[in-house]
Amino acid sequence: MITTEVAFSRSTWRKSKEFCTALHDLAQRMPMELVRLYVTEGVRTPRVRIDYYDRIDELRELRREALLAEMRHVEAQAESWLEEHPDEAARIAAEYRRTQATPEMLLGTAVVNGESPAFGFPPDTYLIAPSLRVYELFMWYDENERWTRN
């Protein structure tokens, strides 16, 4: 049976709680759409105070620090997947003109470096590296936002 359930360290959970609390506070001061625009595109809006952007940068660093703490597990899982799928590993290595594929090639540099603004991944990615679920603890969404389906 394949499972994608994982556990995270206590310090990661604490950082997630700190991140979510601070993000909720920030959501009371500026639209979350502008937060995400800044996080994903680097776009600042004149109507938003500079200290709010400073706070976003602090949250981005807190998030990155927590994600990096879990990356050793992600990398180990990705390495195992590459070993179990030699044909796919060879294809990935060839794309990068290397002899051996790495977790970074498989998942992307920004993901492995904890810099991706992603908050989740497709189900097949969790089969490769279940610990990537840590990204779900650090979503750039406030609890009061509505989730809609298209």
Query: How high is the pLDDT of residue 2?
Result: 56
Query: How high is the pLDDT of residue 53?
Result: 97
Q: What is the pTM of this model?
A: 0.86
Q: Is 60 exceeded by the pLDDT of residue 92?
A: yes
Tens-digit pLDDT profile for residues 44-62: 999 999 999 999 999 999 9
Residues 53 and 38 sit within 8 Å (Cβ to Cβ)? yes
Residues 77 and 131 sit within 8 Å (Cβ to Cβ)? yes
Provide the residue type at 21 as one letter: T
Look over the chain and give the mean of its residue pLDDT values, rounded to a whole number: 91
